Structure 1
Amino acid sequence: MPKKPEKRSDIKKGGPEKHTVNITETAFRDAHQSLIATRMRTEDMIPMIEKMDQVGYWSFEMWGGATFDTMLRFLDENPWDRIRIFKKHAKKTKLQMLLRGQNLVGYKHYADDILEHFIKKAAELGIDVFRVFDALNDIRNMEKAIVTAKKAGATVQGAISYTLSPVHSIDGFVKFAQELKDLGCDIITIKDMAGLISPASAKELVGKLKSEVGLPVCLHSHCTTGMAPTSYFAAAQAGADILDCAISPFGSGTSQPPTETMVEMLDNSGFGLKVDKSHFLEIAEYFQEIKDTAYQHLITPVAERVDVRALVYQVPGGMLTNMVSQLEKQNASDKFEAVLKEIPKVRAELGYVPLVTPTSQIVGTQATFNVLGGERYKMIIQEVKDLCKGLYGKTPAPIDPVVMKKAIGDEKPITDRPANHIAPEWEKCKKEMEGISDKEEDILSYALYPAVAKEYFAVQKDPLKKKARQESLKAGVPSPEGHPQRHFVMRVNDENYEVGITEIE
């Protein structure tokens, strides 16, 4: 019989000796978000939940990130039901979600009352672990979420958005981790969305986090650059307690290192593991079959290969996939390399922001406009203006003064917590949902995605629309949008160009 996964209090806080390494399985969330546009349906997860519950994973990452938006917008599913279903079938393994701080599972900051209702509801339904991050590593955007999740009795992973720049450093990340610990976080997660962390950096950062902060450490990375498996091993040698992995059919490429590979490497090197490897073959065969039959049309070569451009431009592997498609549709594919080179320039000018939702979209869109417009910052998107106004939080470095002047003129940016400027929204949303639903979870869905949620509710009430939607899904009809995106249309030389920017994490 496989051993019961250890509780958070059981995770050893020691140093780099051959300790127990725990595995978080990402197949139910980030793996399919990275490889098939977050399109895995709950019905395709159910057959393996109980089997995987026997493996001994520390947790299943199965909610949050892009799943909420995609389930409502494309899969005709109630996102909240997925938690209920997993709670019914997973009796041993913790259920984990990715929370974008004050952004929750959306693309903007939400009011504190919406945040409180959202986290309490998710915890009530069964989310055990909240991984909380902020795109700017601005702890003010994480504080309310961390405190609320702790009050709900959940385990909180405080995440560092890992990136490389002249203003980011190992010591800076360690200092940030100490602030997360002071807020009450139980675990520190290194969240490397672009696969940029090298083995040497992983070893150094994990070692310092263990010795100076003293909390369990988790490493989350992507195989985009090819370094992740080796960096994981180096992290384990330095004392990492949890590694995020994906069962092999949904591992590698822009996803996480394959679970089976990492377990074998660690097991053969003397690390303690609390997983039962005997289940892996059956699990992998199942996911390979559904990948080949139900989701093959969503696989792109870019998602499944190593992309070393991320090492040069520090761009997450999946960030430009959909933009390439959009440029091709507008007969502007020849601009791709120019956009790629423009992204790091814009990122630097906007304060070296980490490229993760929503800042990845902001930088990518502005870079595209700079190239297609023929003049840099001739057109400035509203999100860049809001970033300059301080509405997203404090950037890692000051924004270029020339860009700041072009974006907001002489307006002074705010310097306090951005959510302080957002009025309560819960009662307003309740009123707007009158006649549609009075359920807390439905009001929350509406608060996060008003138009998408209303369309979803309308389809559920119309048998013909619901039947047509379900038949379309079963037929495997690909959505032209691919990953959830934000779309912008710009006019250049009397021609319209539509730019679609996909989300990262």
Structure 2
Amino acid sequence: TNIPFLLNVLSQPEFLDASVDTYFIDEHPNLFDFKSSLNRAQKLLNYLSEVQVNGPTTPLATDLRPARVTPPNLPIRPGEAPPPGLRVILVKEGPEAFARNGRQSPGCMITDTTFRYVCELAVHSGMNVFRVFDCLNYVPNLVVGMEAVGRAGGVVEAAISYTGDVSDKSRTQYDLIYYLDLANELVKAQTHVLAIKDMADLLKPEAAKILIGALRDKFPDIPIHVHTHDTSSAGVASMLGCARAGADVVDAAVDSMSGMTSQPSMGAIVACLQGTPHETGLNLNEISKYSAYWESARTLYGPFECTVTIKSGNADVYKHEIPGGQYTNLQFQVTPSSNIVGDLAQFMVQNNLTRETLVDRADDLSCPKSVVEYMQGNVGQPPYGFPEPLRTKVLRGKPKVDGRPGAEMPPLDFDLDFNKIKNELEEKHGRVEIEKGKKLAIQLLAEGKLNDKGEREVFFNLNGQMRSMLVQDNEASKKIVTHPKALPGVRGSTGAPMPGEILELKVEEEKR
């Protein structure tokens, strides 16, 4: 092909100026200096075809592959009208009537947290109940969210982040009085529902009885909702204790998605409450169908299985008190508090620091940004104050925030922030030029059937032209018999001089 030659011609200024003559080629021998093609488009297609057929090569925590299964149909079809329930009361009579009816309903209600969705726009889009929480239980932060939900017409569910152990009299911080006082402030702030958010599964059955019982006695008309994880494997027992102590709603996950850092088993809670005053009214047979769907769907996400690193529940959580979300996602911190804790933990491990050496050397250490901002008060004020002298040593004179961090901040310019984030996303995830002025537009069209050699043909549209690549299907190739080649240097591996089949072998062992 003469494409390299033409590219060299087009790069010459004389040609572009139309000032060439018949001696142009003779006077420019460099026109025949061809650069070898980098073949980048072909390499990209090779890679994309390999990923399409054999899966990604990115190392994950597990070598499990997504299962090639089709989950059974859910018991409820998309588009079906939901059965009548509390939402009808919410729409017709408002949040107060919703909360009042929830409190007066017999039995214990179950909230399915198998999948949870991410205030005014949310209300108009169909969100009804908003759980508002703050990792430090800092009331000024909570009130901001509560007021926003109330103005939008949503149900305000103020949540108390639970830590400590109210059943242990030797622990004076985060005791029963602390939680009752905090709940009283949230009720005064006009929450519709009072929630206990036990992110680390620290709420033991006896503690549940004490805490929920005390809250029910003090606030007889407020619905109580309890959220927990099952890190210790005591979650079912704790939720049963909550129900018996007066909780109106407890969180659970469908059986096939429950346990460990997820929520306790829905089926187990429902079964254990049957025949009691707290019966849920849920049908175990329907739960079983629902569970079967998610049991099958879960295998589609095999590479992300937490069970590769977490095999079972573990009561060590009562010692380290790591929240369930952070326990599972130590590589991906998703909330401010888990980001602070994770950054500090990794910083201490990398620098071989203990609690004592961290405090001693904090003057000279460059602590993570998230830790510095926490010590400044940019997240809020912790209930028992900041640790000293660590805070002073970490800040080294940096400014502090004494109240709600957002109170003194200027209003956000959402248009400016949106454009900033948009540019950052385009920079990271947008189209990439492989060189100045050269882009590749690749579209996957189809994947062909397996041929007799164990290959699949993958079809692409590359810059408007059809291209196809043959890729060996590694999994299917295991079942295909191929003709092995002789291996030099391996005794007994002998190549045949011509193709064919051996019909009879007349040479016996040790005879020539």
TM-score calculated relative to the size of structure 2 = 0.59
The 5-angstrom pairing of residues 82-231 of structure 1 reads 119-164=119-164, 166-214=172-220, 215-231=222-238
Change in Cα spacing, 1:467 to 1:320, as seen in structure 2 (3 Å) is farther
- Secondary structure of 1:157's aligned partner: strand
Query: Is this contact kept in 1: 2:376–2:400, CA < 8 A?
Result: yes
SS at structure 2 position matched to 1:295: helix
**Separation in structure 1 between the aligned mates of residue 159 and residue 128 of structure 2, nearest angstrom:** 16
Query: Is the contact made by 2:270 and 2:279 (CA closer than 8 Å) also made in structure 1?
Result: no
Secondary structure, in 3 states, of the residue corresponding to 1:142?
helix
**Cα distance, 1:191 vs. partner?**
0.4
Partner of 1:51: none
Kindly tell me: are residues 9 and 187 of structure 1, through their superposed partners in 2, closer, same or farther at Cα, counting changes over 3 Å?
A: closer
Q: For the structure 1 residues 320 and 255, does the alpha-carbon distance in structure 2 shift closer, same or farther, using more than 3 Å as the test?
A: closer
**Overall identity of the aligned pairs, in %:** 25
Matched position secondary structure for 1:218: strand
Is 2:259 aligned against 1:286? no
Letter in 2 for 1:372: Q
Is 1:424–2:411 an aligned residue pair? yes
Runs (4+) off by over 4 Å: 320-323, 452-459, 462-468
CA distance in 1, matches of 2:408, 2:337: 20
What displacement does 1:396 show? 1.9
**Displacement of 1:180:** 1.3
Mapping of residues 72-471 of structure 1, within 5 Å: 119-164=119-164, 166-214=172-220, 215-292=222-299, 294-301=300-307, 302-303=309-310, 305-321=312-328, 323=330, 357-375=335-353, 376=358, 377=362, 378-429=365-416, 432=419, 446=421, 451-452=424-425
The 1:252/1:425 distance shift into structure 2, 3 A limit, reads same
**Alignment match, 1:20:** 107
Instruction: Work out the CA distance in 2 between the residues paired with 1:320 and 1:427.
Output: 33
Residue 220 of structure 1 aligns to a residue in which SS?
Answer: strand
| Change beyond 3 A, Cα 1:431–1:196 | closer
Change (3 A) 1:361 1:427: closer
Residues 412, 454 of structure 1: alpha-carbon distance in 2 compared, 3 angstrom cutoff: closer
| Residue 190 to residue 322, structure 1, CA distance change in 2 (3 Å) | closer
The runs of 5 or more residues in structure 2 that have no matched partner are 1-80, 90-97, 165-170, 433-438, 446-457, 459-512
Distance (whole Å) between structure 1 residues aligned to residue 212 and residue 244 of structure 2: 9
How far residue 321 of structure 1 moved from its aligned partner, in angstroms, is 4.8
Cα distance change, pair 144–260 in 1 and its aligned pair in 2 (3 A)? same
Distance 2:163 2:418 in 1: 42
Give the match's secondary structure for 2:174: coil
Residues 171-180 or 308-317, more deviating: 308-317
Contact in 1 for aligned 2:99/2:223 (Cα 8 Å): no
Question: How far apart, in 2, do the equivalents of 1:366 and 1:149 lie?
Answer: 33
Cα displacement (A) at 1:173: 1.3
Distance 1:425 1:450, change over 3 A: farther
- Shift of the 126–13 alpha-carbon distance from structure 1 to 2, 3 Å rule, reads closer
8 Å contact kept, 1:369–1:379: no
* SS across alignment from 1:4: coil
Q: Secondary structure at the match of 2:186?
A: helix
Question: What is the identity, as a one-letter code, of the residue corresponding to 1:267?
Answer: Q
> Residues 305-329 of structure 1, C-alpha deviation per residue, up to 9 Å, x if partnerless?
1022211111234535554x79xxx
For 2:53, the equivalent position in structure 1 comes to none
The secondary structure found in structure 2 opposite 1:398 is coil
Greater radius of gyration (CA): 2
User: Any conservation in 2 of the 1:19–1:271 contact (CA below 8 Å)?
Assistant: yes
Contact map agreement 2:102 2:223 (CA 8 A) in 1: yes
Q: CA deviation at 1:263?
A: 0.8
CA distance in 2, matches of 1:450, 1:359: 27
Higher share in helix? 1
Identify if the C-alpha distance between structure 1 residues 432 and 2 changes in structure 2 by more than 3 Å, giving closer, same or farther.
Answer: closer
Does structure 1 retain, via aligned residues, the 8 Å contact 2:158–2:193?
Answer: yes
1:347-376: CA deviation from partner (whole Å, max 9, x where unpaired): xxxxxxxx9932122122212212321342
Q: Say if 2:199 and 2:323, in contact at 8 Å, map to a contact too.
A: yes
Instruction: Please give the TM-score of this superposition, normalised by the length of structure 1.
Output: 0.60
How many residue pairs get matched?
A: 333
The answer on whether the counterparts of 1:157 and 1:186 sit within 8 Å (CA) in structure 2 is yes
| Alpha carbons 1:160, 1:190 under 8 Å: kept | yes
CA distance in 1, matches of 2:126, 2:185: 27
Q: Please report the RMSD computed on the Cα atoms of aligned residues, expressed in angstroms.
A: 3.1
